Amino acid sequence: MNGRPVPCSRQEIGTLFLFEELAPDQIARLCRDGRVEAFDPGPVYLEGDPATCFYVLLEGSLVLSRRTGDYDVEVSRSSSRGVYAGAFQAYLGDRVQQVYNSSLRVIEPSRFFVLPAESFAGIMREWFPMAVHLLEGLFFGIKNVQEAVGQRERLLALGSLSAGLTHELNNPAAAAVRATSALRERVAGMRHKLGAIAAGPYRRDSLEALVEVQERTAERVAKAAGTLNPLEASDREDAVSDWLEAQGIADAWQLAPTFVQAGLDTDWLDQVAAAVDEDTLGGAVRWLNCTVETELLMNEIEDSTARISALVTAAKQYSQLDRAPYQVADVNELLDSTLLMLSGKIGPRITVVKEYDCTLPKIPAYPGELNQVWTNLIDNAVAAMRSTGAGGTLTVRTARDGGHVLVEFGDTGPGVPAEIRDRIFDPFFTTKPVGEGTGLGLDISWRIVVNKHHGDLRVRSVPGDTRFQVRLPLTSTESDAPQEPS
């Protein structure tokens, strides 16, 4: 927005604190290269537009704001002469993107001294060469440090996730190995018992009935295993053991737990007894015991390998290694993969509650970077709850919020003190002990959510109820928005 040009007074320009130490010929150059403009209430420039001018307030009142999601958040308001805004990084040239990093508006008739960005850059380099070198070093030094520490933060998170994933994979893999070894022994036992049955006094119709019972038993094992609580299982074991002992079958106390684990009871044993002769009942029961053990071991192998497959799938979903960086993504699926990857780190003392809105549409996003946001927020929540020396509850909730998807991470930790709540998103600010935090987790999360996804990240906190809320737009503002697969 262009203002109305008004005469430039060298005397007035020379009274501004930025220029009061300049020589008369330097003031004259400022007036020659620059101009004074008057603005009525309204916008002067908008965030993201090319930064073409450097503005210094002569009189009036200005407001600076930044875009957060669908809202303009006021970051500064001033009526002080000499406050400046606009292209004040023009001296860095094309090494950084020269755009306005905020929006400027005036709330009453105001006048500015306006200096074109090219003139501002030339004057800075010519009049203050040493200062420019120092400022360049400071700017790029801070930028490099942020990038290096940000990379370290990602590597630390990756190392933590790798350790957790290794632990999570090791458990089902070890269970599958143990079950496979035991299965080999049970199959060998079944071959031995099958030979004994074939050499025994079984009639053809009894063998056919026994095979039918074996098939029905295998079906029941898959359906009924693990449905009893410990007290019910103990009572049933006593009943099955008593039944076996009443039939004169030795080692009833060893056989009973296997049958009960498979969901079998005395009614099932009555069916077995009805299918075979009394003299062959003991051998039939032991053969069926091997069948049950074999089915249980195969169930364990199936569960373990399914767990491994789920972890590998979650790792691929989390890393997004085989997918485009920018795509249409299911937020609930991203959260599930992150929670699964972090399950070892979360530990058994923290209860995870999922409150997902399953009707949410997929959204255009950078899934790999959103997973980094989820990781940072979950890690902070877990650390906060552990700091109390007790467990807690992590609640992950998704919902639709107008034109946004809301993702909320709630924890029952001590909360974020009010005096530091405005600083937690600042780079390098951390409340963790030295060596345990870089202070960039929330800063990185903020930049991913706000700058890259044009969303919003905020916190609401009281002791026992802290909620970090991420809002992501349902529709893309990117020109290269991904398309939903057909």
Domain holding 351: CATH number? 3.30.565.10
pLDDT of residue 440: 56
Domain co-membership, 56 together with 174: no
Domain final residue, candidates 281, 308, 335? 308
Residue 64 falls inside a structural domain: yes
pLDDT of residue 282: 78
Domain holding 61: CATH number? 2.60.120.10
Distance CA 60, CA 345 (A): 55
Domain co-membership, 247 together with 331: no
Q: Is 97 helix (H, G, I), strand (E, B) or coil?
A: coil
pTM for this predicted structure: 0.47
Domain co-membership, 296 together with 368: no
Q: Is the pLDDT of residue 323 over 60?
A: no
Domain co-membership, 399 together with 467: yes
Residue 223 in tokens: 């359906």
Burial class (CB in 10 A: 0-12, 13-18, 19+), 2: exposed
pLDDT of residue 485: 39
pLDDT of residue 479: 43
Q: Could you tell me if 316 and 242 are in contact, meaning their C-beta atoms sit under 8 angstroms apart?
A: no
pLDDT tens, 48-107? 888 889 999 999 999 888 775 556 677 788 898 999 888 877 767 677 678 888 899 999
Domain co-membership, 350 together with 251: no
| 186 against 116, higher pLDDT | 116
Domain final residue, candidates 69, 101, 127? 127
Residue 249 falls inside a structural domain: yes
Distance from the Cα of residue 275 to its chain's centroid: 57
Strands (E) across 293-402 are located at: 327-329, 350-355, 363-365, 392-401
pLDDT of residue 167: 60
Domain co-membership, 369 together with 402: yes
Q: Is 54 helix (H, G, I), strand (E, B) or coil?
A: strand
Longest CA–CA separation in the chain, Å: 123
Of the candidates 201, 388, 381, 168, the residue with the CA atom closest to the CA atom of residue 278: 201
User: Phi and psi (nearest 5°) for 281?
Assistant: -60, -45
Distance from the Cα of residue 214 to its chain's centroid: 48
Q: Is the pLDDT of residue 410 over 90?
A: yes
Reported confidence tier of residue 331, pLDDT bands at 50, 70, 90: very high
Domain extent, residue 32, equals 4-127
